[in-house]
Amino acid sequence: MSCRECREGGSVSVQLAILVPVVLLVGLLVVAAGRLHAAQQALDHAAAAAARDASLARTASAATVAATSTANRMLAQRNIRCATSSVTVDASEFGARPGTLGLVRVTVRCTVPLADLALPFGGGKQLAATFASPLDPFRTGGS
């Protein structure tokens, strides 16, 4: 064994001790990014479906109930577990008289938990999706 091999014998251990945590952190960041992307896609889909169902309702209160139910069902179907979630429905244009155009807007918010990944920023990330759907201009019913 040469003197050069003697001096570099422990360098592999030091390199591994530095490299392994970095690789693990990058892997966890990739998992977190994937989780957030999947959750955002599910929120977009839930907001669109909720707005569509709300636009088919006859009253503003029925629209709120329909949108909330649809959004929660869509998130459950895609196995999205939110630490906190909310569905906000803007059905203010239901008051317009029949024959006029209007929109119903639905915003779905979800805090995606990330604490189980043991990342330095832990906790969770709040995501939101908003979608608007046109009201039937020939609808009948009260506001």
Q: Is 106 exposed, middle or buried (0-12, 13-18, 19+ CB in 10 A)?
A: buried
Of 8 and 101, the one with more pLDDT: 101
**Structure confidence by residue, pLDDT tens digits, 48-87:** 999 999 999 888 999 999 999 999 999 999 998 888 999 9
User: How confident is the model over 37-51, as pLDDT tens digits?
Assistant: 988 999 999 999 999
pLDDT band at 36 (very low <50, low <70, confident <90, very high): confident
Residue 28 confidence (pLDDT): 80
For residue 14, what pLDDT is reported? 79
pLDDT at 22 (0 to 100) = 86
pTM of the full structure: 0.78
Strands (E), 11-123: 85-90, 103-113
Q: What is the pLDDT of residue 115?
A: 75
pLDDT of 32 over the 60 cut: yes
Q: Is the pLDDT of residue 118 over 90?
A: no
Sheet of strand 103-113, all strands in order from the earlier edge strand to the far edge: 85-90, 103-113, 124-134
Q: What are phi and psi of 91, to 5 degrees?
A: -110, 30
